[in-house]
Amino acid sequence: MAELRSRRSNLAVPGSNPRFLEKAKGLPADQVFLDLEDACAPLAKPGARKNIVAALNEGGWGEKIRTVRVNDWTTEWTYRDVIEVVEGAGADLDCIMLPKVVDASQVAALDLLLTQIEKANGLEVGRIGIEAQIETAQGLINVNDIAFASPRIETIIFGPADFMASINMKSLVVGALHPDYPGDPFHYILMQILMAARARGVQAIDGPFLQVRDVDAFREVAKRSAVLGFDGKWVLHPGQIDAANEIYAPSQEDYDHAELILDAYDWYTSEAGGKKGSAMLGDEMIDEASRKMALVIAGKGRAAGMSRSSAFTPPEG
């Protein structure tokens, strides 16, 4: 698996709006996805492709992951989206996001098209990743196959609005709990996506919360997928970015503790530490399972650019 890249906040930017494309460069989102799908009216899509190519080539994105969401394979726009964007700005592009994925063949088709474009244009074959968006009942049923459909897969994403329509869910509030349901109606869906992503060794991303001015409600929704282990969430408004960056990163206390576990376990299993398989770190027993859990938290903290505020000191004697 490639080194973890932080995707706590995934900012949607309409490709048809040059002003928004320029503004997005200066926002603190981990990833931006420049949208050719739902954010663009049909008549605006050809112009949006050109806007996106120009914005990518101009640079100024810093360390952000740069993704373009193309239209889904059932439309007449997909192949031209991919060809124009990758031929025009492939060297400045990290991923293509494919919406409404229903089976592995759709991912394989995108992989093949990307490979042809890369070969024809002298680009490194396989460098551009694929982000697969699960937005239908059929896509969820096939999510395991989708996750393993291509070595390019980097994320599996939940698309709640189309998914709610797909299963005839009785709600118009996207991504929120429903007062008539005694629990989280999205829990099963999120766990299926998370299991597929983790089995494949890639990241799981939660979808958007459409009440963009209600940041407190966004935080509550985001916490539910973050506690399950999701790596990040879509943000539709700059006001949601800071909340996502905070919620999908470890707390400073948890990050420090994870790093201490890793250092302590490394020392205790060494010759100097007595070659112990388990040991005490304060009042806590640590072992190989502790190390694996600590690696997850430490990895997320490192990817988010966090710094330690404590250090492990081996016991004397």
Q: Are residues 41 and 185 in the same domain?
A: yes
Number of domains in the chain: 2
> Rounded to an integer, what distance in angstroms lies between the CA atom of residue 140 and that of residue 101?
9
Predicted model pTM: 0.92
Domain that holds residue 163: 9-248
What does DSSP assign to residue 248?
T
The torsion of the CA quartet 269, 275, 278, 282, rounded to 10 degrees, works out to -70
Q: What is the pLDDT along the chain (317 residues), one digit of tens a residue?
A: 346 789 999 999 999 999 999 999 999 999 999 999 999 999 999 999 999 999 999 999 999 999 999 999 999 999 999 999 999 999 999 999 999 999 999 999 999 999 999 999 999 999 999 999 999 999 999 999 999 999 999 999 999 989 999 999 887 667 677 778 888 889 999 999 999 999 999 999 999 998 889 999 999 999 999 999 999 999 999 999 999 999 999 999 999 999 999 999 999 999 998 999 998 898 999 999 999 999 999 999 998 899 999 999 998 86
Q: Are residues 233 and 264 in the same domain?
A: no
Residue 121 placed within a domain: yes
> Rounded to an integer, what distance in angstroms lies between the CA atom of residue 18 and that of residue 242?
23
Q: Examine the fold and report which residue of 231, 248, 265 is the final residue of a domain before the chain moves on.
A: 248
Q: Are residues 220 and 262 in the same domain?
A: no
Is position 224 annotated in a ligand binding site? no
Q: Are residues 148 and 263 in the same domain?
A: no
Q: Examine the fold and report which residue of 207, 223, 248 is the final residue of a domain before the chain moves on.
A: 248
Residue 317 placed within a domain: no
Q: Are residues 51 and 164 in the same domain?
A: yes
Q: Which pLDDT belongs to residue 36?
A: 98
Is position 69 annotated in a ligand binding site? yes
Q: Are residues 156 and 298 in the same domain?
A: no
Do 114 and 152 touch, CB atoms closer than 8 A?
yes
Q: Which pLDDT belongs to residue 1?
A: 39
Count CB-CB contacts under 10 A for residue 123. Answer: 18
Q: Examine the fold and report which residue of 230, 248, 266 is the final residue of a domain before the chain moves on.
A: 248
Residue 232 placed within a domain: yes
Do 222 and 242 touch, CB atoms closer than 8 A?
no
> Rounded to an integer, what distance in angstroms lies between the CA atom of residue 227 and that of residue 248?
9
Residue 2 placed within a domain: no
Q: Are residues 179 and 86 in the same domain?
A: yes
Q: Are residues 232 and 259 in the same domain?
A: no
> Rounded to an integer, what distance in angstroms lies between the CA atom of residue 311 and that of residue 286?
17
Residue 309 placed within a domain: no
Residue 310 placed within a domain: no
Q: Are residues 289 and 158 in the same domain?
A: no
User: Tell me, what CATH number does 158's domain have?
Assistant: 3.20.20.60
Q: Are residues 240 and 280 in the same domain?
A: no
Q: Are residues 44 and 88 in the same domain?
A: yes
Q: Which pLDDT belongs to residue 130?
A: 98
Q: Which pLDDT belongs to residue 181?
A: 80
Residue 313 placed within a domain: no
Alpha-helical segments (H) within 133-272: 137-141, 143-147, 160-166, 187-200, 215-228, 241-247, 252-268
Q: Which pLDDT belongs to residue 3?
A: 60
Q: Are residues 100 and 229 in the same domain?
A: yes
Is position 302 annotated in a ligand binding site? no
Residue 3 placed within a domain: no
